[in-house]
Amino acid sequence: MQQDSVAAIIPLFNGARWISSCLESVFAQTHPPSEIIVVDDGSTDNGAQPVEALARQDRRICLLRKANGGQSSARNAGARASRSKLIAFLDQDDLWHPRHVEALIGPFHANPKLGWSFSDADAMDENGTVFQKQLLHIRSLNHDRSSIIECLSRDMCILPSATVISRDAFDAVNGFDERLSGYEDDDLFMRLLTAGYSNQFVDEPLLQWRFHGDRSSYTARMVASRMTFFRKLQTSYPDLSSVYAMRFAMSFLSDLTRNTAPTDRRAIALAGVELALPHIAPAKRVIVRAALHALRASPVAAATLFRVAKPLRRLLQKPQPKLGDGR
């Protein structure tokens, strides 16, 4: 098995609209993957048909079929079926830059014990038009992912489709948590970091990340997954709850500001804010509790106020004083 062998793993669920262009971006790689594993996660459309046709022409392509278990389950199934030293995940609606694999395996040549590499990404709409370049630069993120404290205090913003991961590291932490259908990426990379694996940022937009109305981030399942992840962090990092509680409270409050949020999602978001409240610094806790009461009393009016009150949101999201590295 070659040191730079790469398995491209693509979860497929009702992705007939996207899968052909997704695979085209894999075929266009300057460093071709050794394996291309597409995992049909119980689709009810005909998205698997073009994959089957291509598999008859390209021996690298393997189509796996399984009952629906979610994206984490599909990714894990693809990883288990692969043989390569490196794993590159790609969501069905995203596209790789032609140099994606070549650029992201580079850091492994310099450090064979590296856990993962990751890159910047451009955002595109559902028609494939790029509307925002270099998302991580726009968000002014610190690309050093070595501090547990920093990574707990905000979303890690490492897209699975923008990474290459050592299969030894992936297997060592048991892959994605299949209970999570959202935040499974933060959870994986936090566990890799806690296990002592290093990472390296490649400062190029090597992915086109598609934004559209079907993304899982808009579902009650996503909100429930955030709750599961928060509870998991409480178990893994109980002494650092003050570092990440505000981050989760603000996300749950944001869910409550959506006027169209269905009842089940609102109920989970309300429970999430209540769960985070005791771990927030007292001065900020008063403000969060007041916002929560307002949203309960008059959701439409309070939601409008919350969205326009940018100074308040900046105050609430201002990081806590650093406590030192928790590793």
**In the listed set 158, 183, 210, which residue is the last one of a domain according to the structure?**
210
Give the DSSP letter string of 279-302: GS-HHHHHHHHHHHHHHHH-HHHH
Q: Are residues 56 and 129 in the same domain?
A: yes
Strands 61-66 and 95-96: unpaired
| pLDDT tens-digit series, residues 267-318 | 898 999 999 999 999 989 998 898 888 888 776 666 666 665 555 555 555 5
Give the DSSP letter string of 72-114: HHHHHHHHHH---SEEEE--TT-EE-TTHHHHHHHHHHH-TT-
Residue 133 pLDDT:
94
Neighbours of 198 (CB within 10 A): 16
Structure tokens of 208? 């086109």
The overall pTM is greater than 0.85? yes
Residue 265 pLDDT:
83
Residue 307 pLDDT:
61
- CATH number of the structural domain spanning residue 30: 3.90.550.10
Paired strand residues for 202: 119
| pLDDT tens-digit series, residues 152-190 | 998 889 999 999 999 999 999 999 999 999 999 999 999
Instruction: Tally the domains of the chain.
Output: 2
Residue 301 pLDDT:
62
Residue 11 pLDDT:
98
**In the listed set 184, 210, 236, which residue is the last one of a domain according to the structure?**
210
Q: Is 151 domain-assigned?
A: yes
Which residues of the chain carry a pLDDT beneath 50? 320-327
Residue 204 pLDDT:
94
Residue 326 pLDDT:
34
Contact 69, 45 (CB under 8 A): no
Q: Are residues 236 and 299 in the same domain?
A: yes
